[in-house]
């Protein structure tokens, strides 16, 4: 496999349970924004009601694609780096070299923790990099963190 040939690679997907935190987040955000338009109904114009209805429809459409977007998230451990893939229409593939990893953080918010999941966040030498693998089962996240720390230390020692 060539360095840039990632289409045929075997990807490890995130947990299907990660659909729920994503779905809850989009629903709450969409409904709060739609509810914020309700006071505009006092202006007695049908356009404000259409705006609210439009926001609800857009929220429901976004929520309909959440399961597919979660299935599109994957990662792959290669010889020299970690690949992370996200996105359906606009696919983003990020390669994080093991030697550049400085910190691997496990985050567990309340909804994610209730589902037994974790988010792995990678801090690298670049200040602008924010690579996160969401929705990894807790035991797998801890094992992956330990493996990546081991790989990062061995690659940094070789520098």
pLDDT digits 0-9 by tens, 122-146: 888 776 667 899 999 999 999 999 9
Give the model's pLDDT for residue 3. 53
**pTM: predicted TM-score of the whole model, two decimal places:** 0.82
How far apart are alpha carbons 14 and 120 in whole angstroms? Answer: 11
Q: What is the mean pLDDT of residues 66-94?
A: 93
How far apart are alpha carbons 72 and 85 in whole angstroms? Answer: 7
pLDDT tens, residue by residue, 11-43: 999 999 999 999 999 999 998 998 898 888 888
How far apart are alpha carbons 26 and 136 in whole angstroms? Answer: 20
């Amino acid at each position: 496999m060539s360095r840039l040939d990632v289409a045929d690679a075997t990807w490890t997907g995130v947990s299907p349970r990660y659909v729920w935190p994503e779905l809850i987040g989009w629903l709450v955000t969409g409904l709060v924004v739609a509810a914020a338009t309700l006071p505009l109904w006092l202006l007695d114009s049908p356009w404000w009601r259409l705006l609210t209805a439009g926001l609800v429809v857009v929220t429901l459409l976004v929520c309909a694609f959440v399961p597919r977007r979660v299935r599109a998230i994957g990662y792959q451990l290669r010889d020299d780096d970690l690949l992370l893939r996200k996105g359906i229409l606009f696919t983003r593939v990020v390669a994080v070299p093991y030697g550049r990893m400085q910190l691997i953080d496990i985050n567990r918010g309340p909804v994610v923790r209730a589902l037994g999941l974790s988010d792995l966040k990678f801090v690298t030498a670049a200040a602008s990099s924010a690579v996160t693998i969401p929705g990894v089962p807790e035991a797998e996240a801890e094992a992956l963190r330990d493996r990546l720390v081991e790989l990062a230390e061995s690659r940094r020692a070789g520098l």
